Amino acid sequence: MTGVVNPNLHREVAAYGAGNVDLCMNCGHCTAVCSISPELGTAFPRRIIHLLQVGREEALTQTVEPWLCYYCGDCSESCPRDARPSDTMMAARRWLTARYDWTRLAGIFYRFGWVQIAAILLVALVVMAAFAIYHGPVVTSHVALNTFAPVAGVELVDRIAAGILAFLLISNAIRMAWSFMGGSQMLKVPVRIYAQQVPQFISHYFTQRRWRRCSTAPSRKRWMAHLLLFSGYVSMQILVELLLGWFQTDTVYPFYYPQRLWGYYAAATLLYGTGYFLVSRWRKLKPMHQTSEVSDWLFVGLIFLVALTGILVHIFRLSGLPLATYITYAIHLAIAASLIAIFVPFGKWSHLLYRPLALYLTAVKQAAAAALAEQPDLAPAEEPAVPDGDVPDGDKPDAIPVIAVATEEV
């Protein structure tokens, strides 16, 4: 066993919305039903709960197992103690997100919903104030959106903000990778192995395909809704970040023109995806929807509002309503800026990066272990090639835990 024991660890993680860790009696029902557990070769998710119970903070920081869980809820349904292990995995992901974030804002936003709401309102107010001060001439005889908000200026601000947020997100992702790969005791993994596994990252990032392995039909439906939502989000990002000059135009093209069709697709998938998840949370039909944190509602709700206000801008523009178009456009950008600024580096959006990154790094470790078997000099000087100290006594599997997970994936 390595690392300092933190007796308050389960309470600290509970602040992120954990299930009832104290109720767990380590029976293993959750492990028996979890579709990910056999691939991992560990007693997942019971192992993570055990780490929390015994305060193994360092081991929890170094594992990526919570990222491999897609919150199907099967484990919570099977738990005889109502310890809600699926909620604990979600809380562990939030806690890990806070640990990766060097600004510490993620932890504050997750633990204090009112701070997150205040930050969202602050960003929105700044954007609205910027529009009030810096907007262009207000043409009222017809809709002239590009006169009110010149596309070059919007594009410039857009790209500067994107650069800052990308820096924050990527720097946090590097901290995650550093921690998982062993920190100062990092495996000497050849660069070619990192390069060879890049398709794993791309594939998981765009399809989230591991989700389909969850056994229940509702999970597959959630995966499809999530995939549609993701495609809508990516479409909107491409249109706004790369093609704004083409997308934001005062020219009204025919219905079938690609600019309109692409925009309609993005709006429809965003509305469908967010509507699906909002209704699911509201009705609480599945275990994963029975407890929703403030950040869950805010994230999905803001995406929904971005899509809705975008559609309204379009309708007002086609209807020839200048003032309604300008005001709704400013509100639309204020909501979009709040969503991106708060959730991309510090909130739920970052899961889209951390999940595929966890799978990618796991695949890298698996490939490195295979190489290590042939070339023992790849191992670090003083520590075992893959520390197994984070496996509780009695849980040690035959295979190396984090490496075994990718056996079928690679």
In 3D space, the residue among 226, 312, 206, 309 whose CA is nearest the CA of residue 275 turns out to be 226
Q: Is the separation of the CB atoms in 409 and 363 below 8 Å?
A: yes
Give Cβ neighbours of residue 200 (< 8 Å, ≥ 6 apart): 356, 359, 360, 363, 406, 409, 410
Number of residues that bind ligand SF4 (CB under 6 A): 27
Interface positions, 330-389, toward ligand SF4 (CB under 6 A): none
User: Closest CB to ligand SF4 among 75 and 311?
Assistant: 75
What are 56's strand-pairing partners? 5
Contact 307, 132 (CB under 8 A): no
Residue number with CB closer to ligand SF4 (45 or 232): 45
Judged by beta carbon, residue 77 or residue 155, the one nearer ligand SF4 is: 77
Among 9, 14, 18, 30, binds ligand SF4 (CB under 6 A): 30
Residue (63 or 116) nearer to ligand SF4, CB: 63
Measured distance CA(337)–CA(344) in Å, rounded: 10
Among candidates 186, 180, 207, which has minimal Cα distance to 67? 180
**Of 157, 161, 205, nearest to 342 (Cα)?**
161
Smallest distance, ligand SF4 to C-beta of residue 52, A: 11
Scanning 33-41, 155-163, 242-250, 357-365 for contacts with ligand SF4 by CB under 6 A, the matching segment is 33-41
List, in sequence order, every residue forming a beta bridge with 5; answer none if it has no partner: 56
What does the CA dihedral 122, 124, 130, 135 come to, rounded to 10 degrees? Answer: -170
Nearer to ligand SF4, 66 or 263 (CB): 66
**For residue 384, what are its two tokens?**
């075992």
Of the candidates 329, 316, 320, the one whose C-alpha atom is nearest the C-alpha of residue 148 is 329
Nearer to ligand SF4, 124 or 358 (CB): 358
Least distance (Å) between residue 1 CB and ligand SF4: 20
Q: Which of 3, 15, 26, 150 binds ligand SF4 (CB under 6 A)?
A: 26
To ligand SF4, the closest distance from the beta carbon of 67 in angstroms equals 10
The pair of three-digit structure tokens given for residue 67, joined into one six-digit string: 């990222």
If the CB atoms of residues 72 and 334 are measured against ligand SF4, the closer one turns out to be 72
In whole angstroms, the minimum distance from the beta carbon of 391 to ligand SF4 comes to: 16
Span of 9-17, 25-33, 113-121, 341-349 interacting with ligand SF4 by CB under 6 A: 25-33
Among 1, 5, 25, 121, binds ligand SF4 (CB under 6 A): 25
Q: Which of 29, 135, 209, 226 binds ligand SF4 (CB under 6 A)?
A: 29
Contacts of ligand SF4 in 39-98 (CB under 6 A):
45-46, 49, 69-75, 78-79, 81, 83, 85-86, 89
Closer residue to ligand SF4 (CB): 93 or 317: 93
Query: In angstroms, what is the minimal distance from the CB of 194 to ligand SF4?
Result: 27
- Cβ at position 72, least distance to ligand SF4 in Å: 4
Structure tokens at 334: 């204020």
Residue 69 C-beta: closest distance to ligand SF4, Å: 3
User: Which residues are within 8 A (CB) of 123 and not within 5 positions of it... i.e. 6 or more apart?
Assistant: 334, 337, 338, 341, 342
* Terminal CA-CA length for the chain: 30
Residue 127 near residue 333 (C-beta atoms within 8 A): yes
Whole-number Å distance between alpha carbons of 142 and 137 = 12
**Smaller CB distance to ligand SF4: residue 30 or 266?**
30
Which residues lie near ligand SF4 (CB under 6 A)? 24-30, 33-34, 36, 45-46, 49, 69-75, 78-79, 81, 83, 85-86, 89
